[in-house]
Each structure stands twice: as structure tokens, then as C-alpha cells.
Structure 1
Amino acid sequence: MPMPPDAFRALHRPGRPLILYNIWDAGSAVAVARAGAVALATGSAAVAGALGYPDGEAVPLDLLLTVVERIRAASDLPLSVDFEAGYATSPDGVAANALRLASLGVAGINLEDGIPPERGIRSAADHAMRIAAIRKRTGLFINARTDLFLQNPAPDHAALLPEALQRAARYAEAGADGFFAPGLTDPGLIGALCRDCPLPVNIMASPAAPSIADLAGLQVARISFGPFPWRAAMAALEAAAAEQVRPGA
């Protein structure tokens, strides 16, 4: 049975973050579940790459839903789906698509304010309308993602923090449950975001980001890994294959 929405929300605790080691298919879901995960989350780049597509809503929605169905069949852990920008141009269209995900027993979604594939960022008002439309029609945990930091270089991040907090407030008013700031890696800025954000903060672990222990100390509530698990798995597969197909090379 799917985890009730309130129970999934309760897993987001500042200082005791929910760790989501991102998956891309049913097989990776089973592996991460066996490792002891309490919840699962897809990453759009990983799902796309595993299917031979580029990131940025290039995977057809029906195919994404099939992947989600197979993951749900393989594991009963709560599942959050990286829904990118919602696969539609209007708030009603985004909400209708989100309802299809909810019908599969999904616990939550990421919904980004970036315009795939990295074609700028929507206005806060536009993204808030999309969040509100989903909230009106579903009980999904809406992890509102801002691409401000991902689409801009690190030296600009401090100047972007006030806008990020304004967006977080706007998204919270519209019904978001969490705020995701991928690309933000500076400990001081992460701490300031967690201190002033009205929503539980999700930070993406990366080689440039603080350690999980340090992120917990900064009061992060959710840590995800984006495309990095898939990249590591593919690198390991390539290395293992090379030992067999090119012995002694």
C-alpha cells in the first residue's frame, strides 16, 4: 500500500534528512531498497539516460509512466518521481499529468521552475500557478525545485539567494511541501536557505557539495543524489566490461 501523504511528509526533518539515493528503473529500485532505503526517488537524467534519451522531458510521458509502474510493482516503498516541468504548457495540463502519477500510488514529485532543457526559468507566479493546480487535484508531496543555482555559476549564488527565498515563499503559499535547490553547494548559503526558507530544504549531494553529515548539521531536510548514482553504475559497468572484452589492455 502507498504510504499516506502525511507519513511521507514526516520523513522530511531538518537536521535528520531523508536520504534519497536516486534510481532509474525497477532493478535499481530493488537494489536501493535492499540497501535499507526508507523511500525511493527517480532522477530525470538517469531515467532518460537509461532509456537512451537526453534529459529535459525528452522521455515520452507514457513511457515515463510505464517506468513508474514497473518501479511500483517492484517495491512498495514510497516513491517520489522527478516530473521535470510537468510535461505540459498550462497549469491544468500539468495537474492532469500529475493526477496520472498519483493514480499509480506515487508519494510525491519534483516540479522544477526551469524550462526544459535548461531554456531559462519561469516566473515565480507562473510556477506557483502550476503548484496550486496540482495541489487542488492531488495529495502528492510537491517538492518545488528552483533552477536558479543550477543554471547560474557558483560566484552568482549569493546574489541569487534572496530571489530563491522569495520563490520558496511563493511556492509555499501555492501549496508546495518542500523546496529543492540543486546546484547550491556553498555551506554558508545552504545554512542561510535552511534558516529562512518556509519549507523543508532539499539539497543535491555532489562532489562539490558538503558531506551528508555536514548537510544534516546545516538543517537540510532531504538529500538526493540526482544523476550521480546512475553515472557511477554506468562507469562501473563499463570498467567491468572492459576487463572482459579487452583483457590485458
Structure 2
Amino acid sequence: MTDHTPTALAACADVLLALHRPGDPVVLPTVWDAWSAALSAEAGFAGLTVGSHPVADSIGRADNEGMTFEELLTRLRQIIPAVDIPVSVDIESGYGQEPARLIEGLLEVGAVGLNLEDTVHSQGGRRRDPQEHADLVGALRAAADASGVHVVINARTDVLLRVETTPERVADAIDRLDRAAKAGADVLYPVGVHPDDIWQQLVSALPLPLNGIAHPGDDDLAHFRAIGVGRVSFGPRLQGALADHARSLLGAWR
């Protein structure tokens, strides 16, 4: 997208938001450079998300805010002009930037959505208090409203990521995401691979479309339709799957 006027960005953001339909989820392939973005757009997808982990890998930085916001923006200036579909961006925990700067930077390069997680990597990986995270979501919403563009906010919690899933953790995740919804989020992201009964609890308890994470080679869209999510992305798994295939190809030439 090359037209970054407020009117064009607002229309693009509205398109992205309308794609989120529980039970008929939009698939936003997770990309990291102009090549992967153009490849996904050519495959017919209606939108994209730029993943922090694969972008960091692609520029020789570590995940978990090993790159700066400015480095991310540099990458986005390469990616977004390569496609004519809405692009959302994983901004991790915000890179220590003020909400107004985050929104300003994203709109400047043509992004119309963002992911925000509740693990603060710059502060030893602490998890934000539920209301603290909601307040940041609210500040981002206020900054977006001031710009005239309804930036699509995907509020993420890491409570269920790589830890034992207990009723207490599910309740914590629901509380965090419900607060984020009330603060102005548009999509809720309980990141992780969950059994169907957990998804049923999350979908029934939360008021907004949920984001599920998939492996492009191992999962199928029908399953995500059945569990009722409104959005599917790949995290670093598309890049990982391509890397595995590349290793196989290259290995034959050693």
C-alpha cells in the first residue's frame, strides 16, 4: 500500500477489521520481508501480519525486542509498498515507546493493525498487571482515534503460552483479555496451542473475535472454523516450515 493519507489508511483499517468473523476466520499469513509478503498476497490472502520473531531473525536480531522500533519500521517500509492489502504488525510489548509514537510510526509506514503482548521484554520479561495491560491498550486506542484511523488492535496475553494450563490460568487469561476488550481492543489473542475444550471456554467467555496460531503444514482451516476463532496467523511457523524445506533442498547438495 502506497497511499498513506488518513482517508486511505482509515478505509484500509476498516477492511481489516471487517475480515474478523468468528467461525469464518481471516487467515493472515505471518511475513517478515517484501518477498514473503508479496508471495502471500499473490496466493490470494486478504491481509497479512508482520511477525516480530521472523523479522528479527531476518535482520540478525533476537526475538523478544532484540530489535528496535526503528529497525522494525525500516523493515515495514520495505514490506508494505510490496502489497495492496491491509497489514498488521506485531509490536511485541511496545519497545519502550509511548503509545502515540507507536501509532504514529505504524501509520507513517502504512500499517493499520497491531499486536500487543503483555510480556515486557525490556524489563526482564515481567508480565504486565492485567489492568496495566488494558490501560496500554486504551492509550493505543486513544492515539489511534486521535489520528482518525481505527487501527485494529489485537491484544495478546502470554498467560497460556508454554506453561501448564490450569483453571486458574484460563481464568487469568479471560480476565486479562476481557479488560483489554473493554479498553478498546478489536481482537483478542490467547497465544498458544490449546485443546478444543479450552478454546470453547475462551470463545464463550470473551466478547470479541479470537486469534488462533496455526502451523501452515500441520493444521487445517476447518479446525479453526469449528472452534470459532475469528483470525488465524502463523507466528514464526511459516518461516520455520520454509527453513526446514530449504535445509532439505540444500542438504542434497552438500
- TM-score exceeds 0.5: yes
* Cα deviation code 1:27-63 (max 9, x no counterpart): 1001111111110111111111111111001112211
Structure 2 SS opposite 1:234: helix
CA contact (8 A) 1:185 1:210 kept: no
- Where does residue 165 of structure 1 map in the other structure? 174
**Larger displacement relative to structure 2 (2-11 or 230-239):** 2-11
Please report the TM-score for the alignment, with normalisation by the length of structure 1.
Answer: 0.90
Q: Taking every aligned residue pair, what percent have the same amino acid on both sides? A: 35
Give the RMSD, CA atoms, in angstroms: 2.0
Q: 1:97 aligns with which of 95, 102, 107?
A: 102
* C-alpha distance after superposition, 1:175-227 (max 9, x if no partner): 111100111421111111111101110011149x9642122111110011100
Map 1:187-198 → 2, pairs under 5 A: 187-198=196-207
Match of 2:139 in 1: 133
The match for 1:58 is 66
Structure 2 length normalisation: TM-score?
0.88
Number of aligned residue pairs: give it: 240
Is 1:205 the counterpart of 2:210 in the alignment? no
CA distance in 2, matches of 1:144, 1:104: 21
Q: 1 CA distance for matches of 2:120 and 2:163? A: 14
Q: Which one of 66, 88, 108 corresponds to residue 96 of structure 2?
A: 88
Choose which of 7, 26, 35 in structure 1 pairs with 2:15: 7
For residues 51 and 200 of structure 2, what CA distance do their matches in structure 1 show? 24
Q: 1:31 to 1:4 in 2, by over 3 A?
A: closer
Q: Do the aligned residues in 1 keep the contact of 2:99 with 2:143 (CA within 8 Å)?
A: no
Measured in 2, the distance between the counterparts of 1:150 and 1:120 equals 14
Q: Which residue of 1 aligns with 2:128?
A: 122
Correspondence 1:73 to 2:81: yes
> In the aligned structure 2, how far is the partner of 1:227 from the partner of 1:68?
17
For 1:111, the aligned partner's letter is: L
Separation of aligned partners in 2, 1:197 and 1:235: 36
CA contact (8 A) 1:172 1:199 kept: yes
User: Which ranges in structure 1 are unaligned for 5 or more consecutive residues?
Assistant: none
